Protein backbone atom coordinates (compact mmCIF):
# COMPACT_ATOMS: atom_id res chain seq x y z
CA UNK A 1 0.00 0.00 0.00
CA UNK A 2 1.40 3.45 -0.87
CA UNK A 3 1.66 5.77 2.14
CA UNK A 4 -1.29 8.10 2.86
CA UNK A 5 -0.85 11.70 1.67
CA UNK A 6 -1.95 14.67 3.82
CA UNK A 7 -1.82 18.36 2.94
CA UNK A 8 -2.06 21.74 4.60
CA UNK A 9 -3.33 24.33 2.10
CA UNK A 10 -3.28 27.91 3.39
CA UNK A 11 -4.10 31.02 1.35
CA UNK A 12 -1.44 33.76 1.58
CA UNK A 13 -3.95 36.55 2.20
CA UNK A 14 -2.92 37.28 5.78
CA UNK A 15 -0.74 36.01 8.58
CA UNK A 16 -1.28 32.61 10.17
CA UNK A 17 -2.90 32.39 13.61
CA UNK A 18 -3.43 29.69 16.22
CA UNK A 19 -6.26 28.17 14.17
CA UNK A 20 -3.86 27.57 11.26
CA UNK A 21 -1.28 26.17 13.66
CA UNK A 22 -3.89 23.68 14.84
CA UNK A 23 -4.78 22.59 11.32
CA UNK A 24 -1.15 22.41 10.17
CA UNK A 25 0.11 20.48 13.20
CA UNK A 26 -2.89 18.13 13.20
CA UNK A 27 -2.05 17.26 9.57
CA UNK A 28 1.60 16.80 10.52
CA UNK A 29 0.77 14.59 13.52
CA UNK A 30 -1.69 12.42 11.57
CA UNK A 31 0.80 12.03 8.70
CA UNK A 32 3.53 10.98 11.13
CA UNK A 33 1.31 8.51 12.98
CA UNK A 34 0.30 6.92 9.66
CA UNK A 35 3.85 6.89 8.20
CA UNK A 36 2.37 9.17 5.57
CA UNK A 37 3.57 12.12 3.50
CA UNK A 38 2.83 15.76 4.25
CA UNK A 39 2.43 18.38 1.52
CA UNK A 40 2.11 22.12 1.79
CA UNK A 41 0.07 23.84 -0.91
CA UNK A 42 -0.18 27.59 -1.41
CA UNK A 43 -3.72 28.51 -2.50
CA UNK A 44 -2.98 31.83 -4.18
CA UNK A 45 -5.56 31.92 -6.99
CA UNK A 46 -7.07 35.20 -5.85
CA UNK A 47 -4.41 37.68 -7.00
CA UNK A 48 -6.29 40.62 -5.48
CA UNK A 49 -5.94 39.29 -1.92
CA UNK A 50 -2.75 37.18 -1.93
CA UNK A 51 0.68 38.74 -1.29
CA UNK A 52 4.22 37.34 -1.63
CA UNK A 53 5.10 38.60 1.85
CA UNK A 54 2.29 36.52 3.36
CA UNK A 55 3.56 33.47 1.50
CA UNK A 56 7.09 34.04 2.83
CA UNK A 57 5.61 34.43 6.32
CA UNK A 58 3.76 31.10 5.98
CA UNK A 59 7.04 29.23 5.33
CA UNK A 60 8.71 31.04 8.21
CA UNK A 61 5.90 30.48 10.73
CA UNK A 62 5.44 26.80 9.85
CA UNK A 63 9.19 26.13 10.06
CA UNK A 64 9.23 27.86 13.44
CA UNK A 65 6.43 25.53 14.59
CA UNK A 66 8.73 22.64 13.68
CA UNK A 67 6.76 21.47 10.67
CA UNK A 68 8.53 19.82 7.73
CA UNK A 69 6.93 19.39 4.31
CA UNK A 70 7.87 18.05 0.91
CA UNK A 71 9.23 20.38 -1.76
CA UNK A 72 8.62 21.76 -4.31
CA UNK A 73 5.53 23.34 -2.83
CA UNK A 74 2.62 23.54 -5.28
CA UNK A 75 1.56 27.14 -5.83
CA UNK A 76 -1.85 27.30 -7.48
CA UNK A 77 -1.03 30.48 -9.42
CA UNK A 78 1.50 28.45 -11.45
CA UNK A 79 -1.05 25.85 -12.59
CA UNK A 80 -3.85 27.75 -14.27
CA UNK A 81 -3.63 25.41 -17.29
CA UNK A 82 -4.62 22.40 -15.13
CA UNK A 83 -7.75 24.16 -13.90
CA UNK A 84 -8.59 25.32 -17.43
CA UNK A 85 -8.48 21.70 -18.64
CA UNK A 86 -10.90 20.60 -15.91
CA UNK A 87 -13.22 23.48 -16.76
CA UNK A 88 -13.11 22.59 -20.46
CA UNK A 89 -14.05 19.03 -19.60
CA UNK A 90 -17.12 20.18 -17.64
CA UNK A 91 -17.95 22.58 -20.42
CA UNK A 92 -17.82 19.76 -22.99
CA UNK A 93 -20.40 17.94 -20.84
CA UNK A 94 -22.69 20.99 -21.20
CA UNK A 95 -22.53 21.73 -17.46
CA UNK A 96 -21.09 25.27 -17.49
CA UNK A 97 -22.78 28.58 -18.34
CA UNK A 98 -21.70 32.21 -18.00
CA UNK A 99 -23.62 34.67 -15.82
CA UNK A 100 -23.10 38.41 -16.13
CA UNK A 101 -24.80 39.90 -13.06
CA UNK A 102 -22.69 41.56 -10.36
CA UNK A 103 -23.06 40.51 -6.72
CA UNK A 104 -25.09 43.68 -6.08
CA UNK A 105 -27.45 42.88 -8.97
CA UNK A 106 -27.97 39.35 -7.67
CA UNK A 107 -28.69 40.73 -4.20
CA UNK A 108 -31.27 43.11 -5.71
CA UNK A 109 -32.95 40.36 -7.75
CA UNK A 110 -33.17 38.18 -4.69
CA UNK A 111 -34.48 41.04 -2.50
CA UNK A 112 -37.34 41.57 -4.97
CA UNK A 113 -38.30 37.90 -4.80
CA UNK A 114 -37.70 37.81 -1.04
CA UNK A 115 -40.72 40.09 -0.58
CA UNK A 116 -42.94 37.08 -1.33
CA UNK A 117 -40.93 34.15 0.00
CA UNK A 118 -37.76 33.44 1.97
CA UNK A 119 -35.17 33.05 -0.77
CA UNK A 120 -32.97 29.96 -0.25
CA UNK A 121 -29.44 30.56 1.03
CA UNK A 122 -26.32 28.42 0.76
CA UNK A 123 -24.64 26.88 3.84
CA UNK A 124 -22.48 30.04 4.13
CA UNK A 125 -25.60 32.23 4.20
CA UNK A 126 -25.32 33.74 0.70
CA UNK A 127 -28.50 33.81 -1.43
CA UNK A 128 -28.58 31.12 -4.13
CA UNK A 129 -28.09 32.38 -7.67
CA UNK A 130 -31.58 32.55 -9.27
CA UNK A 131 -30.31 30.96 -12.50
CA UNK A 132 -31.41 33.90 -14.66
CA UNK A 133 -28.45 33.76 -17.06
CA UNK A 134 -29.24 30.15 -17.92
CA UNK A 135 -32.15 31.47 -20.02
CA UNK A 136 -29.94 33.68 -22.23
CA UNK A 137 -29.82 32.69 -25.89
CA UNK A 138 -26.48 31.84 -27.51
CA UNK A 139 -26.64 35.15 -29.35
CA UNK A 140 -27.25 37.16 -26.16
CA UNK A 141 -24.33 35.39 -24.49
CA UNK A 142 -22.04 36.15 -27.40
CA UNK A 143 -23.07 39.80 -27.44
CA UNK A 144 -22.46 40.20 -23.70
CA UNK A 145 -19.10 38.43 -23.90
CA UNK A 146 -18.05 40.52 -26.91
CA UNK A 147 -18.98 43.72 -25.05
CA UNK A 148 -16.20 42.88 -22.57
CA UNK A 149 -18.64 42.50 -19.65
CA UNK A 150 -17.22 40.58 -16.69
CA UNK A 151 -18.74 37.15 -16.14
CA UNK A 152 -18.69 34.15 -13.81
CA UNK A 153 -18.74 30.59 -15.12
CA UNK A 154 -21.27 28.57 -13.15
CA UNK A 155 -22.01 24.90 -12.77
CA UNK A 156 -25.52 23.97 -13.89
CA UNK A 157 -26.28 22.13 -10.65
CA UNK A 158 -29.50 20.43 -11.79
CA UNK A 159 -27.84 19.07 -14.94
CA UNK A 160 -24.73 18.00 -13.00
CA UNK A 161 -26.76 16.11 -10.40
CA UNK A 162 -28.86 14.43 -13.08
CA UNK A 163 -25.67 13.08 -14.65
CA UNK A 164 -24.23 11.47 -11.49
CA UNK A 165 -27.01 10.40 -9.06
CA UNK A 166 -26.59 10.40 -5.25
CA UNK A 167 -23.18 10.04 -3.59
CA UNK A 168 -21.48 10.48 -0.22
CA UNK A 169 -18.11 10.84 1.52
CA UNK A 170 -16.28 9.26 4.42
CA UNK A 171 -15.95 11.67 7.32
CA UNK A 172 -13.36 10.78 9.96
CA UNK A 173 -14.00 14.02 11.86
CA UNK A 174 -17.29 15.76 12.39
CA UNK A 175 -19.56 18.32 10.74
CA UNK A 176 -21.12 21.32 12.50
CA UNK A 177 -24.19 19.21 13.32
CA UNK A 178 -22.17 16.21 14.50
CA UNK A 179 -22.29 14.46 11.08
CA UNK A 180 -19.70 11.69 10.88
CA UNK A 181 -19.02 8.37 9.12
CA UNK A 182 -20.74 8.13 5.75
CA UNK A 183 -22.19 11.57 4.98
CA UNK A 184 -24.64 12.07 2.11
CA UNK A 185 -23.47 14.92 -0.12
CA UNK A 186 -25.95 17.76 -0.67
CA UNK A 187 -24.36 19.94 -3.38
CA UNK A 188 -27.79 21.27 -4.38
CA UNK A 189 -27.64 23.38 -1.19
CA UNK A 190 -25.09 25.60 -3.02
CA UNK A 191 -27.08 26.18 -6.21
CA UNK A 192 -25.20 27.00 -9.42
CA UNK A 193 -21.76 27.54 -7.86
CA UNK A 194 -19.11 29.66 -9.55
CA UNK A 195 -16.19 27.62 -10.90
CA UNK A 196 -14.24 30.43 -12.59
CA UNK A 197 -14.47 34.09 -13.47
CA UNK A 198 -13.46 36.09 -16.52
CA UNK A 199 -10.20 37.14 -14.89
CA UNK A 200 -9.72 34.15 -12.54
CA UNK A 201 -9.33 30.75 -14.19
CA UNK A 202 -10.61 28.74 -11.22
CA UNK A 203 -12.61 29.12 -8.04
CA UNK A 204 -11.44 27.59 -4.78
CA UNK A 205 -13.75 24.59 -5.35
CA UNK A 206 -12.31 23.71 -8.75
CA UNK A 207 -8.65 24.27 -7.85
CA UNK A 208 -8.82 22.28 -4.61
CA UNK A 209 -10.39 19.26 -6.32
CA UNK A 210 -7.96 19.28 -9.24
CA UNK A 211 -4.95 19.67 -6.94
CA UNK A 212 -5.97 17.07 -4.36
CA UNK A 213 -6.28 14.54 -7.20
CA UNK A 214 -3.10 15.60 -9.02
CA UNK A 215 -1.09 15.43 -5.81
CA UNK A 216 -2.53 12.06 -4.80
CA UNK A 217 -3.98 13.42 -1.55
CA UNK A 218 -5.71 10.60 0.34
CA UNK A 219 -6.66 12.48 3.52
CA UNK A 220 -8.08 15.99 3.60
CA UNK A 221 -7.84 17.42 7.11
CA UNK A 222 -9.25 20.96 7.44
CA UNK A 223 -11.58 23.22 9.42
CA UNK A 224 -15.28 22.57 9.92
CA UNK A 225 -16.08 25.80 8.03
CA UNK A 226 -15.42 23.78 4.84
CA UNK A 227 -17.53 20.78 5.86
CA UNK A 228 -20.45 21.44 3.48
CA UNK A 229 -18.15 22.62 0.70
CA UNK A 230 -17.13 18.95 0.59
CA UNK A 231 -20.47 18.25 -1.12
CA UNK A 232 -19.37 20.39 -4.07
CA UNK A 233 -15.90 18.85 -4.05
CA UNK A 234 -17.32 15.33 -4.17
CA UNK A 235 -19.62 16.34 -7.03
CA UNK A 236 -16.70 17.74 -9.04
CA UNK A 237 -14.71 14.57 -8.35
CA UNK A 238 -17.59 12.52 -9.73
CA UNK A 239 -17.94 14.69 -12.82
CA UNK A 240 -14.20 14.69 -13.52
CA UNK A 241 -13.63 11.00 -12.67
CA UNK A 242 -11.28 11.79 -9.80
CA UNK A 243 -10.76 9.61 -6.71
CA UNK A 244 -12.40 10.58 -3.41
CA UNK A 245 -10.04 11.27 -0.48
CA UNK A 246 -11.17 10.63 3.09
CA UNK A 247 -12.16 13.80 4.94
CA UNK A 248 -11.57 14.89 8.53
CA UNK A 249 -13.07 18.26 9.47
CA UNK A 250 -11.91 19.63 12.79
CA UNK A 251 -13.53 22.15 15.12
CA UNK A 252 -12.46 25.76 14.71
CA UNK A 253 -10.55 27.41 17.53
CA UNK A 254 -12.34 30.35 19.12
CA UNK A 255 -11.09 33.34 21.08
CA UNK A 256 -11.97 34.04 24.71
CA UNK A 257 -15.18 35.80 23.59
CA UNK A 258 -16.21 32.74 21.53
CA UNK A 259 -15.59 34.36 18.12
CA UNK A 260 -13.86 32.56 15.23
CA UNK A 261 -10.16 33.50 14.95
CA UNK A 262 -9.41 35.83 12.08
CA UNK A 263 -6.25 36.73 10.18
CA UNK A 264 -6.59 40.30 11.42
CA UNK A 265 -6.79 39.58 15.17
CA UNK A 266 -3.28 40.15 16.37
CA UNK A 267 -3.78 38.49 19.75
CA UNK A 268 -3.62 35.00 18.25
CA UNK A 269 -1.19 35.68 15.37
CA UNK A 270 1.80 33.32 15.30
CA UNK A 271 4.21 36.20 14.57
CA UNK A 272 2.91 38.19 17.52
CA UNK A 273 3.13 35.18 19.84
CA UNK A 274 6.69 34.51 18.68
CA UNK A 275 7.65 38.13 19.29
CA UNK A 276 6.25 37.84 22.80
CA UNK A 277 8.59 34.90 23.43
CA UNK A 278 5.96 32.14 23.26
CA UNK A 279 7.62 28.83 22.25
CA UNK A 280 6.32 26.29 19.70
CA UNK A 281 5.79 23.86 22.62
CA UNK A 282 3.60 26.46 24.33
CA UNK A 283 1.64 26.94 21.08
CA UNK A 284 0.97 23.18 21.01
CA UNK A 285 -0.18 23.31 24.61
CA UNK A 286 -2.50 26.25 23.96
CA UNK A 287 -4.19 24.52 21.00
CA UNK A 288 -4.41 21.19 22.80
CA UNK A 289 -2.08 19.14 20.60
N1 LIG B 1 -7.12 27.47 1.26
C2 LIG B 1 -8.21 27.22 2.16
C3 LIG B 1 -8.15 28.16 3.34
O4 LIG B 1 -7.10 28.73 3.61
C5 LIG B 1 -8.21 25.80 2.71
C6 LIG B 1 -8.51 24.81 1.66
C7 LIG B 1 -8.68 23.37 2.10
O8 LIG B 1 -8.05 22.94 3.08
O9 LIG B 1 -9.40 22.68 1.40
O10 LIG B 1 -9.15 28.33 3.99
From first to last of the 289 residues of the chain, give the pLDDT tens digit.
Answer: 899 999 999 999 999 999 999 999 999 999 999 999 999 999 999 989 999 999 999 999 999 999 999 999 999 999 999 999 999 999 999 999 999 998 888 888 888 876 667 888 999 998 899 989 999 999 999 999 999 999 999 999 999 999 998 899 999 999 999 999 999 999 999 999 999 999 888 999 999 999 999 999 999 999 999 999 999 999 999 999 999 999 999 999 888 788 888 776 767 899 999 999 999 999 999 999 9
Which CATH code is given to the segment(s) 5-92+161-287?
3.40.50.620
User: Which residue out of 20, 26, 169, 226 has the highest number of ligand 1 atoms within 8 Å of its CB and is therefore the one to mutate?
Assistant: 226
The residues lining ligand 1, judged by C-beta closer than 6 Å to any ligand atom, are 9-11, 43, 208, 222, 226
Residue 237 near residue 210, CB atoms below 8 Å: no
Angle 175-237-184 from CA coordinates, rounded to 5°: 35
H or E element at residue 74: strand 74-75
Which residue owns the Cα nearest ligand 1 atom 6? 9
Which residue owns the Cα nearest ligand 1 atom 3? 10
Amino acid sequence: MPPPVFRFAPSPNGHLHLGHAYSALLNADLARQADGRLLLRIEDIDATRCRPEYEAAIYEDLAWLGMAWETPVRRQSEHFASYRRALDRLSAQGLIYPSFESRAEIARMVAERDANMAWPRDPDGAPLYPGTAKQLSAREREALTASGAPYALRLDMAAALASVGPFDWTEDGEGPGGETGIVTARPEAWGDVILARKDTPASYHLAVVVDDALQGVTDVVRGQDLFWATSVHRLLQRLLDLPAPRYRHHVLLRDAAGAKLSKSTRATGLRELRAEGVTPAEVRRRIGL
